[in-house]
């Protein structure tokens, strides 16, 4: 059976010729009729996805977001995972307190009433992915060497299903072999204790770890002696946290779902909400129905900025009645958001000459610092510069400003389109500047609202995953736990990759996530991983990071969020914090995928005890009853007082105090601080394009469900680059043509991807877009923002040109892993 699957996964690409052709879409007239040639040698147009031999196509998508397309897709996923009944029951329990489990998908908050049914297509896909009936058993590992598995697609790896028992890499047979939990813990402990310094280990986490597990994770790392705690936030919202902290004194948004429900204007910047935060569609549809204005700021006109039929709204579904979800679309230049915000501030100041009320002078005087300087800076910035940098006309900018000044209450939200840029911190601070001018903070229906990614990425930070912890955090934590945390800052994601390559990191522990795929500079990251002495992956499914490993390697399988966690005969719950600072308890309901799985908390405690045999931390006792972890957390963490009681409050737990919401600003001046930066130049050089790497509709970060991207009209193709038609014409490129993409890194090194297909798309001239994680091979390790240390995943400087035939022969050598059409080196 495994053999069968394998063959399907690494099929002979020439079979594609036999597949029947899709109905001719609008753009297909000039598409070559021969079968698509594989990009990156051997794995095909599906990139890291399924890569089957279906013909690709692309056409415009005209239907409302969510709606029947989503319902159909959910049905298909349930059937594919053979979970139609259990899947449906799980859907009905998801996000339903008091006994439901928190959706392990995105961090969008629960409905204020807790009980209303608000599901989304991608949440359901995510849950079903975890609940699959498929299992990766020891026989599977015995039958396939790691070298062989390396040639499989990422899709095929995860498609083996849930991991079932601890496995350890055996170099002699080049396979993973079973290991007992006790031996696995001992290997981790012994290796860590043998290091010259605790700083030779790095402890990564992806943002889905519960608050309780997070707390134990950082406790283990710090008691052991290091602040090397990189996380996915380093690639995600680091810029938001830093900016909000500088401007408002605390690193989180202030708006909650209630505020979204009361705002007169919602600004949605740099997020593909219909795919990545689908439950936002409900808020947008409701906002439109009550007459609020919705402004989308995005170089691409994404599905959420058209219309939606909210899938749980069965009446609307039945009547095919859609709701508008946009009043204005601004196709900003990539990285031009700061200029847009400043342009809106300038229009606001101009308007204040005829209508003084558009600026909240009283709020500015009482609660802010630096406004006069900001006013001067804005007045001195010429309109022409703002227009050029924003890529928008003065008229369009002023129109957005008029929506803003006519609204009594505004919320501004943003995601990766704003943060994964060189000037991400400055841009978020400019968003806050604009909010402050009208007192849009600490009032109902107002505030900044970063749209977070992983379901508990915000909680991870709150509970201590931070390579730069503050004394404010460490002092009470040390006092409550009796440990002495190191004070020296640790390594983040990019610096961990550097240190691995330099031989400075010997042990890499990963609680969830898929580091080699998610991180920038794929080849360099892989090389670093292979240099380590030990890699430890606590995971639910097989992924690339298990195959690209250290000299020794462990795969430790854990319970998923949907599964029952029983310790000492009693069911345990864990908590998470959503993007709007609400903390609630989550109970898995399902029988675990295997009797050998352990909870993340139990695995952490096992590794910690083996590392720190003399530790006075009651690791074993914490595992027996998670209330004990919450008790110590209530003493260690500001805002978690009386944690055990408050987390069980119905319907949705409690909100962590966010002082800025009460207009208390913990900045050095005690006021909200205006930021004053020069307008950055974000215009690409001649012949250059700014490439952003983003998600398709059918993927969860490094997990790719299918090779299609419904709302962008793409079927069966991931190795693509979207370009403006004008840029295509300038380069003599035609729809569907094969191209090479070359990125020049900040340090002058050059990386390229070959045999990608160019697709015409409505985005600003000078910009391009394609999919992560395939395109991570183009992100040099040195390409990170000096403000946030975030990799510039939306801001790569590239050239795109027709693929040269001569290169093709060697690119299509069969069996080459995806991305081997990649070349990198010092060609500058």
Cβ closest to ligand MGD, residue 195 vs residue 534:
534
Q: Which of 93, 495, 69 is nearest to 310 (CA)?
A: 69
For ligand MGD, which is the closer residue by CB, 368 or 790?
790
The answer to the question of residue 267 lying near ligand MGD (CB under 6 A) is: no
The reply on whether position 761 binds ligand MGD by CB under 6 A is: no
Return the one option of Mo ion, ligand MGD, none that residue 341 interacts with (CB less than 5 to 8 A, by type).
none
Burial class (CB in 10 A: 0-12, 13-18, 19+), 261: middle
CB atoms within 10 A of CB 80: 14
Torsion of the alpha carbons at 67, 69, 70 and 73, rounded to the nearest 10: 160
Residue 513's binding partner, choosing from Mo ion, ligand MGD, none, with beta-carbon cut-off 5 to 8 A by kind?
Answer: ligand MGD
Binding mask 234-253 toward ligand MGD (x if CB under 6 A, else -) reads -xx-----------------
Minimum CB–partner distance for residue 482 and ligand MGD (Å): 27
Q: Does 106 bind ligand MGD (CB under 6 A)?
A: yes
Tokens of 726: 């004008």
Stretch that binds Mo ion, among 59-67, 301-309, 451-459, 512-520 (CB under 5 A): 451-459
Q: Which of 206, 247, 634, 735 binds ligand MGD (CB under 6 A)?
A: 206
When CB distances are held under 5 to 8 angstroms depending on the partner's kind, the choice from ligand MGD, Mo ion, none that residue 745 binds is: none
Question: According to the binding rule CB under 6 A, does residue 518 interact with ligand MGD?
Answer: yes
Residue 90 site contact among Mo ion, ligand MGD, none (CB < 5 to 8 Å, cut-off depends on kind)? none
With binding defined as CB under 5 A, does residue 236 bind Mo ion?
A: yes
Tell me: does residue 151 bind ligand MGD (CB under 6 A): no
* 504, β-bridge pairs: none
- Determine which residue in the list 225, 343, 512, 684 makes contact with ligand MGD, applying CB under 6 A: 512
Taking the CB of residue 568, how many other CB atoms lie within 10 A of it?
A: 8
Which of Mo ion, ligand MGD, none does 417 bind, CB closer than 5 to 8 A by kind?
ligand MGD
Taking the C-alpha atoms of residue 767 and residue 298, their distance in angstroms, rounded to an integer, is 12
Binding site partner of 275, from Mo ion, ligand MGD, none, Cβ cut-off 5-8 A by kind:
ligand MGD
How many residues are given for the chain?
A: 828
State the Cα angle at 292 between 408 and 317, rounded to 5°: 160
Q: Which of 454, 531, 549, 655 binds ligand MGD (CB under 6 A)?
A: 454
Q: Which stretch binds ligand MGD (CB under 6 A): 61-69, 361-369, 513-521, 640-648?
A: 513-521
Any contact of residue 561 with ligand MGD (CB under 6 A)?
yes
Q: Find the largest Cα–Cα distance for the chain.
A: 80
The answer to the question of residue 520 lying near Mo ion (CB under 5 A) is no
| Interacting residue with ligand MGD among 228, 540, 744, 787 (CB under 6 A) | 540
With binding defined as CB under 5 A, does residue 821 bind Mo ion? Answer: no
Q: Residue 593 half-sphere exposure, CB side, CA atoms within 13 Å?
A: 28
CA distance 124 to 146: 32
Asked if 773 is part of the footprint of ligand MGD (rule: CB under 6 A), the reply reads yes
Among residues 692, 724, 744, 824, which is the contact residue for ligand MGD, using CB under 6 A? 692
Residue 417 CA to residue 419 CA, distance in Å, equals: 6
Q: Which of 36, 100, 343, 453 binds Mo ion (CB under 5 A)?
A: 453
Tell me: does residue 270 bind Mo ion (CB under 5 A): no
Decide: 576 and 461 in contact? Cβ < 8 Å.
no
Our CB check for Mo ion shows the closer of 42 and 105 to be 105
Task: Write the DSSP symbol of residue 516.
Answer: H
SS3 571: strand
DSSP 445: T
Q: For tokens 């009446």, name the residue.
A: 315
Provide the terminal-to-terminal Cα distance of the chain, rounded to the nearest Å: 48
CA 9 centroid distance within chain: 26
- Cβ proximity to ligand MGD: between 262 and 517 the closer is 517
Stretch that binds Mo ion, among 91-99, 231-239, 329-337, 542-550 (CB under 5 A): 231-239
Quick one: 497 or 671, whose CB is closer to Mo ion?
Answer: 497
Residue 299 makes contact with ligand MGD by CB under 6 A? yes
Q: Dihedral angle at the C-alpha atoms of 233, 553, 50, 806, nearest 10 degrees?
A: 90
Neighbours of 526 (CB within 10 A): 22
* Out of 338, 347, 386, 415, the residue judged to bind ligand MGD by CB under 6 A: 415
The single residue listed with the structure tokens 């900025």 is 305
CB-nearer residue toward ligand MGD: 446 or 525 = 525
CB of 116 to ligand MGD, least distance (A): 21
Q: Is 272 in the site for ligand MGD (CB under 6 A)?
A: yes
Place of tokens 């981790």: 188
Q: Residue 213 in contact with residue 604, Cβ under 8 Å? A: yes
- How far is residue 466's CA from residue 456's CA, in Å, rounded to a whole number? 14
370 binds Mo ion (CB under 5 A): no
Contact 553, 546 (CB under 8 A): yes
Q: List, in order, residues 6 or more apart from 83 with CB less than 8 Å away.
A: 128, 131, 132, 133
Residue 201 CA to residue 460 CA, distance in Å, equals 19
Q: Which does 772 bind (CB under 5 to 8 A by kind): Mo ion, ligand MGD, none?
A: ligand MGD
Alpha-carbon distances, residue 130 vs 83, 99, 127, 512 (angstroms): 11, 19, 5, 13
Closer Cβ to Mo ion, 398 or 493, answer by number? 493
Distance CA 688, CA 798 (A): 6
Q: 3-class DSSP state for residue 123? A: helix
Prior bond to 651 cis, omega within 30? Answer: yes
Part of the chain binding ligand MGD (CB under 6 A), chosen from 259-267, 317-325, 345-353, 696-704: 696-704
Give the angle 274-516-421 at the CA atoms, nearest 5°: 50
Please give the Cα distance from 695 to 276 (Å, whole number).
8
The interface with Mo ion within residues 13-42 (CB under 5 A) comprises none
Give the 3-state secondary structure of residue 723.
strand
User: Segment 786-805, which members bind ligand MGD (CB under 6 A)?
Assistant: 793-794
Burial class of residue 683 in the structure, from the number of CB atoms within 10 Å of its CB (0-12 exposed, 13-18 middle, 19+ buried): middle
Residue bearing tokens 């919705």: 294
Single out the residue of 251, 335, 486, 736 in contact with ligand MGD (rule: CB under 6 A): 335
- Residue 548 CB-density burial (10 A; 0-12 exposed, 13-18 middle, 19+ buried): buried
Question: Could you tell me which residues come within 8 angstroms of residue 284 by beta carbon, excluding any fewer than 6 positions away?
Answer: 266, 268, 273, 294, 304, 308, 325, 326
Pick the stretch among 33-41, 235-243, 276-284, 529-537 that binds Mo ion (CB under 5 A). Answer: 235-243
Displacement of CA 115 from its chain's centroid (Å): 27
Q: Shortest distance, CB of residue 531 to ligand MGD, whole angstroms?
A: 20
Q: Which stretch binds Mo ion (CB under 5 A): 31-39, 251-259, 448-456, 750-758?
A: 448-456
Q: Least separation, in Å, of the C-beta of 356 and ligand MGD?
A: 31
Residue number with CB closer to ligand MGD (369 or 427): 427
Q: Report the residue number, 51 or 453, with the smaller CB distance to Mo ion.
A: 453
Residue 635 beta carbon to ligand MGD: minimum distance, rounded to whole angstroms: 27
Q: Does 202 bind ligand MGD (CB under 6 A)?
A: no
Quick check: 210 binds ligand MGD (CB under 6 A)?
no
Site string for ligand MGD, 577-616 (x = CB under 6 A): -----------------------x----------------
232 binds ligand MGD, rule: CB under 6 A: yes
Q: Does 64 bind Mo ion (CB under 5 A)?
A: no
Interface residues with ligand MGD (CB under 6 A)?
Answer: 106, 122, 206, 208, 232, 235-236, 269-272, 275-277, 297-300, 302, 332, 334-335, 337, 415-418, 420, 453-454, 511-515, 518, 538-541, 543, 558, 560-561, 600, 692-695, 699-703, 772-773, 775-776, 779, 793-794
Interface residues with Mo ion (CB under 5 A)?
Answer: 236, 453
């Amino acid at each position: 059976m495994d053999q069968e699957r394998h063959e399907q996964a690494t099929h002979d690409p020439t079979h594609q010729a036999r597949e029947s052709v899709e109905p001719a879409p609008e753009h297909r007239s000039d598409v070559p009729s021969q079968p698509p040639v594989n990009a990156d040698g051997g794995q095909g147009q599906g990139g890291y996805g399924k890569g089957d031999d279906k013909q690709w196509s692309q056409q415009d998508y005209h239907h409302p977001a969510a709606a029947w397309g989503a319902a159909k897709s959910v049905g298909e996923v349930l059937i594919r995972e053979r979970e139609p009944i259990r899947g449906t029951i799980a859907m009905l329990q998801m996000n339903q307190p008091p006994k439901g489990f928190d959706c392990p998908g995105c961090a969008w908050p629960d409905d204020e009433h807790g009980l209303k049914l608000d599901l989304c297509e991608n949440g359901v896909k995510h849950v079903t992915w975890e609940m699959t009936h498929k299992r990766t058993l020891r026989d599977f590992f015995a039958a396939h060497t790691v070298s062989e598995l390396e040639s499989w697609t990422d899709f095929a790896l995860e498609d083996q299903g849930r991991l079932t028992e601890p496995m350890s890499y055996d170099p002699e047979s080049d396979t993973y072999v079973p290991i007992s939990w006790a031996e696995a813990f001992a290997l981790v402990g012994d290796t860590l204790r043998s290091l010259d310094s605790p700083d030779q280990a790095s402890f990564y986490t992806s943002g889905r770890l519960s608050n309780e597990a997070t707390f134990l994770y950082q406790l283990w790392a710090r008691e052991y002696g290091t602040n090397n705690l990189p996380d996915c936030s380093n690639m995600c919202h680091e810029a938001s946290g830093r900016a909000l902290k500088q401007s408002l004194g605390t690193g989180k948004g202030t708006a909650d779902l209630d505020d979204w429900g009361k705002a007169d204007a919602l600004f949605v910047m740099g997020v593909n909400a219909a795919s990545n935060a689908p439950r936002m569609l409900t808020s947008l549809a409701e906002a439109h129905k009550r007459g609020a204005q919705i402004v989308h700021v995005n170089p691409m006109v994404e599905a959420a900025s058209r219309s939606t039929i909210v899938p749980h709204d069965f009446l609307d579904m039945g009547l095919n009645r859609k709701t508008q979800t946009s009043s204005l679309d601004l196709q900003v230049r990539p990285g031009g958001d700061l200029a847009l915000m400043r342009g809106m501030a300038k229009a606001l100041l101009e308007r204040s000459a005829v209508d003084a009320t558009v600026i909240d002078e009283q709020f500015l005087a009482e609660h802010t610092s630096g406004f006069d300087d900001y006013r001067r800076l804005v007045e001195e910035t010429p309109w022409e510069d703002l227009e050029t940098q924003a890529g928008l006309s003065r008229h369009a900018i002023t129109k957005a400003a008029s929506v803003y000044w006519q609204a009594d209450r505004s919320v501004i939200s943003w995601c990766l389109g704003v943060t994964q840029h060189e000037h991400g911190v400055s841009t978020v601070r400019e968003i806050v500047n604009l909010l402050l001018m009208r007192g849009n903070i600490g009032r109902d229906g107002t505030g900044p609202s970063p749209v977070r990614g992983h379901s508990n990425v915000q909680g991870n930070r709150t509970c201590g995953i931070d390579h730069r912890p503050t004394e404010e955090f460490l002092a009470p934590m040390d006092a409550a736990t009796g440990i002495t945390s190191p004070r020296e800052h640790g390594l983040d994601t990019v610096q961990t990759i550097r240190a691995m390559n330099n031989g400075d990191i010997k042990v890499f522990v990963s609680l969830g996530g898929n580091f080699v795929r998610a991180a920038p500079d794929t080849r360099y990251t892989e090389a670093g991983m292979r240099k380590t002495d030990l890699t430890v992956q606590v995971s639910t499914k097989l992924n690339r990071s298990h195959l690209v490993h250290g000299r020794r390697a462990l795969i430790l399988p854990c319970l998923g969020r949907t599964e029952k966690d029983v310790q000492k005969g009693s069911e345990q719950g864990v908590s998470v914090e959503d993007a709007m600072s609400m903390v609630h308890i989550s109970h898995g309901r399902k029988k675990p995928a295997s009797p050998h799985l352990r909870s993340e908390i139990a695995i952490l405690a096992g590794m910690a005890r083996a590392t720190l045999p003399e530790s006075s931390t009651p690791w074993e006792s914490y595992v027996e009853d998670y209330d004990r972890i919450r008790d110590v957390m209530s003493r260690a963490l500001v805002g978690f007082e009386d944690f055990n009681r408050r987390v069980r409050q119905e319907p949705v737990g409690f909100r962590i105090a966010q002082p800025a919401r009460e207009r208390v600003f913990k900045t050095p001046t005690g006021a909200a601080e205006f930021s004053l930066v020069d307008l950055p130049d974000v215009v690409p050089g001649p012949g250059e394009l700014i490439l952003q790497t983003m998600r398709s509709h059918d993927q969860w970060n490094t997990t790719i469900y299918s090779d299609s991207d419904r709302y962008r009209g793409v079927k069966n193709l991931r190795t693509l680059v979207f370009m403006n038609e004008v840029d295509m014409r300038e380069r003599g490129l035609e729809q569907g043509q094969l191209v090479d993409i070359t990125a020049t890194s900040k340090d002058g090194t050059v990386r390229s991807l070959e045999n990608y297909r160019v697709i015409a798309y409505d985005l600003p001239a000078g910009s391009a877009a394609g999919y992560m994680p395939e395109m991570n091979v183009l992100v040099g390790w040195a390409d990170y923002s000096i403000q946030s240390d975030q990799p510039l995943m939306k801001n790569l400087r590239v050239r795109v040109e027709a693929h040269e035939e001569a290169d093709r022969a060697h690119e299509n050598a069969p069996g080459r892993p995806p991305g081997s059409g990649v070349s990198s080196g010092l060609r500058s």
